[in-house]
Chains A and B, each alone.
Chain A
Amino acid sequence: MPAMLLVSTGPNGARKGSNYEAQTGKMNLYPHEIAIGGVYLPPLLIASLLGVIAAVVTARALNRYRLSRYFFYPPLVFVAITVIYTVLIGTFVIRV
């Protein structure tokens, strides 16, 4: 994630340096908003968008190899996969 896009609000909302990750070389473990052109987007929004995209890719792959026929109701499975991806991305990629 480019440093210029990140603004960390810290545990109590205190603003930290925007290039914290670049300076320390460590992942910022605090939830931080994503700024695009000055518009601040909540990390959950980004994580869920990425979760949906990953779920769409997975669903297409499962359709392609006819594995989706083993599910009882694929639309619900899609929701479940989206939630799993969102949680994983929110935990390991973008802290929410």
Chain B
Amino acid sequence: MLSRRAKEAIKTGLAFALVFAIALQADWLNPYWAGFAVAFISLQTAGESIHKGLNRLVGTIPGCIAAIIILALAVQSRWTFMLLACAWIFFTAYMSLRSRNNTYLWTVAGFVCLIIISSGASTSEQLFENAVFRLLETALGITVYTLISVFIWPLNNAGEIKKASRGLMATQSGICRAGLQMMTGTIAAGATPKKSAELRQQELEQLTRLAQVLVAEGSENYEVRELRPIWDRFHGLSTALMESRDRWHGNMAELVRMDVNALLPAVPALFDELDCRFEEIRGLLEGRPASHKPNSIKLSVDRTATRGRSHFELAALAVTRTELEAMETLTAALLDCALDLAGQATEGSKRQTLSAPGTVNRVIQLPVIDRDYLCSAAYAAVTVCAGFCIWIYINPPGHGGWYNMLGTLALVSIGMLHVPMIRFVKSLTLAFVLCAFVYIFIMPRLSTYFELGLLLFTCIFISRYFFSGLAQMMASIAILNAMPIQNQQTYEFAMLANKGIFLIGVFLFIHVLSYMMSSPRPEKKLLALVRRFFRSTEFLMSAVAHEPGSKASIVERWKIAYYRHEMNSLPGKIGVWSKAIDQTRFSSNTPEQVRRLVTTLQGLKYRIEYLLETRETRQPGSFAREMKQSVHAWLASIESIFVSWSDTPGSESAVDLEQRLLAELGELEQRIDATIAQVDREALSEADGENFYRLLGAYRGVSEAAVAYAGNAASIDWAEWGEERF
């Protein structure tokens, strides 16, 4: 019995040999274009391959059109030609980074344009012919591979979405239950941090997996494609639930000191209901009929139990209540989705919008540009420009291929800049040398296509069966470059040697260029990102100082939206770059410490985001005035801390910081007491009081998150990461 790996290798090898047979038989231009299509769209399952293949095919069309336009406009002017090509690469690179589902489409649109303009067409007819052949052979490769993957040992994603969703629900249920146990003191807070961290990591992986299988299964199954909006909603609700739950967990330090069951008597009932809902969703996704009728649970605070509590404890309670109610709303919406997906939605079940109390104002109104995407796109354009100058002024082996190949590599690498390009060189060199032996010693002895087909099949089979990941990709590049196949086949050692030097030279050159993006120095990039994070938080905290609801100019609102986007996106980017740091060179900071750093930044992000949302809610006038004066000192203090961290991320001691912030919050509490004594209690509605405590909880939350970061930052050896090294 053949293994799955062997079957996949046979399928790819067969498709590869077949497309060459068809292209050679039909005497098409550059048969290896079809081979490239097969080599780069073959993935684990049919759905993933079809999706990638469609992206490649659709992306080829704008790429060809752009190439024709560029050559039509600037065929006689080399610098206009270069500028137009760079502009197109900049645009496609930015779009590929922004796009969530069609990244590959934009990447293909970029590099196909470079391939067509460097294909050596001397007349407009020839140029059009090249573009058509590129499209035709790409379509051929995709069609042949799709047919083979569908008819021979088909491996599809049927049921993968439901399986991934069930797993996600089980994990989210487990984390919620563990949170309740911590909150009510059944288990000590921090008693099982490792298990908790593992569960959260598992939840993130499951969310990513769900997004992947939604694309893969959606590409091979019409019914899934029809239900895609509901599945997307399910994914969005699960993500919102994760965020809401993380914000609830952020108050745990305060909550464990209180008797939550007494303060919020409905908490046990709420969690029982949540458990039932998670179980019901899993059942529905398994195909069981609906058996649970959701009950809406309202969390009301027992006023008698709140007596004697400090304002900050009441504030933490208000935040917790908000987030628990958000979780209740989100799980109800998830159940609604599951009923819809199972075809058991009733008339009474109403579709709720994604925005729950915790996520009310999270949508950014103004379009913001991602700075890293912009820099990456500029880097891709500069790379093409550098390749063009190398061709014009030096003209080394490879000639016009320099800007084409450099541009292609830049487009592919901008999505994974944390992987240094030098890692590719070793695999590529080895694969190229092996393929060169085949080209020199075996290929000249072949006389029929059957023999050549067998050789191509064997080469691809070996690359797929014995290698994986990076080595497999490099093997495909080496096979297609070191074993060029044409209808009028000729053999030339100089061409092969020049191609080898060119390929390795291009990889080395782009490695040098990638220093612009700090690609080979992830520790420096991490430091820069952490500094940027604190610059963003500092700006946002200064924005908090403004009068809520006051009219801000468009520029100011855009700046707030920009820094908010920065703050929200940076912890994720820091997480990615932190994994690329070489532990053998920077051994002082363990991966666990780095992971905790990312978690504390994430926590700070949630707290500031919550503060920004809460300050927009209506506040009672007298309290708002008093709060503004009282909070001013606290804001100035927290801003100065963020300024200091934006310069030196580990500069504040956690103990000093905690004392400083607690002293300021203590003063704030005294002033609140004085204000409450002055204002007419009767004039305050329950909603006003609730809003006030939520705002107070938000301030407290930011302080706690800052102290948590300082505690973690103190254990990190920042100097080691900052030290210059080769």
Residue of A nearest to B722 (CB): A69
A71 interfacial contact with B, CB 8 Å: yes
B272 interfacial contact with A, CB 8 Å: no
A20 interfacial contact with B, CB 8 Å: no
Whether the pair A59, B723 counts as a contact (CB closer than 8 A) is no
**A68-B723 Cα distance, complex, nearest whole Å:** 8
Residue of B nearest to A45 (CB): B501
Stretch at the interface among A4-12, A25-33, A72-80, A87-95: A72-80
Whether the pair B515, A75 counts as a contact (CB closer than 8 A) is yes
Whether the pair A39, B725 counts as a contact (CB closer than 8 A) is no
Residues of the B chain whose Cβ atoms lie less than 8 Å from the Cβ of A62: 726
Residue of B nearest to A74 (CB): B726
Residues of the A chain whose Cβ atoms lie less than 8 Å from the Cβ of B520: 75
**A68-B207 Cα distance, complex, nearest whole Å:** 43
Q: 4 closest Cβ contacts across the A-B interface?
A: A59-B726, A74-B726, A69-B723, A75-B515
CB A63 to nearest CB in B, in angstroms, measures 5
Residues of the A chain whose Cβ atoms lie less than 8 Å from the Cβ of B724: 68-74
- Interface residues of A toward B: which range? 10 to 19
* Contact surface of B with A, Cβ cutoff 8 Å: 493, 497, 512, 515, 520-521, 723-726
User: Which of B493, B723, B724 has the most C-beta atoms of chain A within 10 angstroms of its own C-beta?
Assistant: B724
Known: A39-B493, A79-B512. 18 other contacts (CB 8 A): A39-B497, A59-B726, A62-B726, A63-B725, A63-B726, A68-B724, A68-B725, A69-B724, A69-B725, A72-B724, A73-B724, A74-B724, A74-B726, A75-B515, A75-B520, A75-B726, A77-B726, A78-B726
**A72-B725 Cα distance, complex, nearest whole Å:** 10
User: Which of B515, B723, B726 has the most C-beta atoms of chain A within 10 angstroms of its own C-beta?
Assistant: B726
20 cross-chain CB contacts under 8 A: A39-B497, A59-B726, A60-B726, A62-B726, A63-B725, A66-B723, A68-B724, A68-B725, A68-B726, A69-B723, A69-B724, A72-B724, A73-B724, A74-B725, A74-B726, A75-B512, A75-B520, A75-B521, A77-B726, A78-B726
Please provide the chain A residues from 23 to 67 with a CB less than 8 Å away from any CB of chain B in the complex: 39, 59-60, 62-63, 66
CB B361 to nearest CB in A, in angstroms, measures 43
Residues of the A chain whose Cβ atoms lie less than 8 Å from the Cβ of B725: 63, 68-69, 74
Residues of the B chain whose Cβ atoms lie less than 8 Å from the Cβ of A63: 725-726
CB B16 to nearest CB in A, in angstroms, measures 31
**A68-B725 Cα distance, complex, nearest whole Å:** 5
Residue of B nearest to A56 (CB): B726
**A48-B493 Cα distance, complex, nearest whole Å:** 23
**A64-B512 Cα distance, complex, nearest whole Å:** 22
Residue of A nearest to B497 (CB): A39
CB B198 to nearest CB in A, in angstroms, measures 35
Residues of the B chain whose Cβ atoms lie less than 8 Å from the Cβ of A60: 726
Residues of the B chain whose Cβ atoms lie less than 8 Å from the Cβ of A75: 512, 515, 520-521, 726
Residues of the A chain whose Cβ atoms lie less than 8 Å from the Cβ of B497: 39
Residues of the A chain whose Cβ atoms lie less than 8 Å from the Cβ of B515: 75
CB A83 to nearest CB in B, in angstroms, measures 13
**A69-B720 Cα distance, complex, nearest whole Å:** 10
Residues of the A chain whose Cβ atoms lie less than 8 Å from the Cβ of B521: 75
Residues of the B chain whose Cβ atoms lie less than 8 Å from the Cβ of A66: 723
**A88-B499 Cα distance, complex, nearest whole Å:** 29
Residue of A nearest to B719 (CB): A69
Residues of the B chain whose Cβ atoms lie less than 8 Å from the Cβ of A71: 724
**A59-B724 Cα distance, complex, nearest whole Å:** 12
**A69-B497 Cα distance, complex, nearest whole Å:** 39
Residue of B nearest to A79 (CB): B512
Residues of the A chain whose Cβ atoms lie less than 8 Å from the Cβ of B493: 39
Residues of the B chain whose Cβ atoms lie less than 8 Å from the Cβ of A79: 512
Residues of the B chain whose Cβ atoms lie less than 8 Å from the Cβ of A69: 723-725
CB A56 to nearest CB in B, in angstroms, measures 9
Residues of the A chain whose Cβ atoms lie less than 8 Å from the Cβ of B723: 66, 69
**A39-B724 Cα distance, complex, nearest whole Å:** 41
**A74-B723 Cα distance, complex, nearest whole Å:** 11
CB A65 to nearest CB in B, in angstroms, measures 12
**A71-B725 Cα distance, complex, nearest whole Å:** 8
**A77-B724 Cα distance, complex, nearest whole Å:** 11
CB A35 to nearest CB in B, in angstroms, measures 13
CB B193 to nearest CB in A, in angstroms, measures 35
**A73-B515 Cα distance, complex, nearest whole Å:** 11
Residue of B nearest to A78 (CB): B726
**A72-B722 Cα distance, complex, nearest whole Å:** 11
